[in-house]
Amino acid sequence: MAGYGRRGRAVGRTGAAVCAAVVLLAGCQGIQDGDSPAGDESGGAAADGRAAGPLDNPDGTKPGLAPVTGEADRAEARELIETVPTRGRGPRTGYDRDDFGYAWMDTADGVPLARNGCDTRNDLLRRDGQDLRFRSGSDCVVIAMTLADPYTGKTIEWRKQEAAEVQIDHVVPLSYSWQMGASRWPEDKRERLANDPLNLIPVDGPANSAKGDSGPAAWLPPNRSVRCAYAVRFAQVAVKYEMPVTSADRRMMLAQCGG
């Protein structure tokens, strides 16, 4: 898909398409103040020195989700979000996770990291984690790491024995995509969406559970500093897969970036 244009830079960037707070905020409560952009870009974000901003990471192969800072980048973010079409959210009837392929398949051709001998979940842990430890005899299966979680701003010392402490979030939830047209997609396109690094971020487990299949109008990361970045990533996935979002979701996405 063609890039969305931008002052000489965006086309290159978008060549690929382009509550308990965490425990105290829940669902919509997590964004009661989310209709205006975050003013403090430091906002408690866990900084690991590696996280890439979404505008500099159009294929999702770089780690993390760094804040979008500066008015020029926020303007670019709004420009991208405004290209996403809108429609009403359809019924969830017929949705089954298996319609998007078995979980963390390595054979979803057409996305980065496919067929590299390591399943999608471990690919993402390797992409975003630091101080990685692998299962004996493996350079794929991560059993321990340090994660700078963009959604909460926490640093998580993760061990496989407590696997649910870190979950892989589908930025655009699979059920959401089903209701926005994926029910009519060919199976291979659904498999790509489910395993595309652009749509996947390892995050705090409780935060991901609180999100469920919500769009941005109902849930945003508790960490305010990455809300514009999250909106951009949601839009990047929607553009790449030619998928609409609801009008309420697009309004909320624009608001996070000053629109």
pLDDT per residue as tens digits for the range 51-70: 999 999 999 999 999 999 99
Q: What is the mean pLDDT of the chain?
A: 87
Record the tokens describing residue 67, joined without a space.
């804040």
What pLDDT sits at residue 47? 55
Q: Report how far residue 221's alpha carbon sits from residue 231's, in angstroms, rounded to the nearest whole number.
A: 10
Phi, psi (degrees; rounded to nearest 5) at 181: 125, -15
Q: Using an 8 Å Cβ cutoff, are 23 and 206 in contact?
A: yes
Record the tokens describing residue 49, joined without a space.
């020195």
Adjacent-strand bridge partners of 157:
146
pLDDT digits (tens, 9 = 90+) for 213-241: 999 999 999 999 999 999 999 999 999 99
Residue 122 has pLDDT above 90, yes or no: yes
Q: Report how far residue 111's alpha carbon sits from residue 11's, in angstroms, rounded to the nearest whole number.
A: 19
Q: Report how far residue 112's alpha carbon sits from residue 37's, in angstroms, rounded to the nearest whole number.
A: 31
Question: What one-character DSSP code corresponds to residue 180?
Answer: T
What pLDDT sits at residue 140? 97
Q: Using an 8 Å Cβ cutoff, are 14 and 236 in contact?
A: yes
- DSSP class per residue in 120-175: HHHHHHHHH-EEEEE-TT-SS-EEEEEEE-TTT--EEEEEGGGGGGEEEEESS-HH
Report the largest interatomic distance among the alpha carbons of the chain, rounded to a whole angstrom: 50
For residue 101, what pLDDT band results from cuts at 50, 70 and 90?
very high
What pLDDT sits at residue 42? 41
Q: Report how far residue 240's alpha carbon sits from residue 26's, in angstroms, rounded to the nearest whole number.
A: 29
pLDDT digits (tens, 9 = 90+) for 147-206: 999 999 999 999 999 999 999 999 999 999 999 999 999 999 999 999 999 999 999 999
- DSSP class per residue in 25-43: --GGGGGTTTTS--S-SST
Straight-line distance from the first to the last Cα atom of the chain, in angstroms, rounded to the nearest whole number: 25
For residue 34, what pLDDT band results from cuts at 50, 70 and 90?
very low
H or E element in which residue 182 lies: none
Spell out the residues 6+ positions from residue 71 whose beta carbon is closer than 8 angstroms to its own.
258
Q: Report helix, strand or coil for 253.
A: helix
CA 229 to chain centre: 9
Q: What percent of the chain has pLDDT over 90?
A: 81
pTM summary value: 0.85
What pLDDT sits at residue 49? 77
Q: What percent of the chain has pLDDT over 70?
A: 81
* Cβ burial, residue 72 (10 Å; 0-12/13-18/19+): exposed
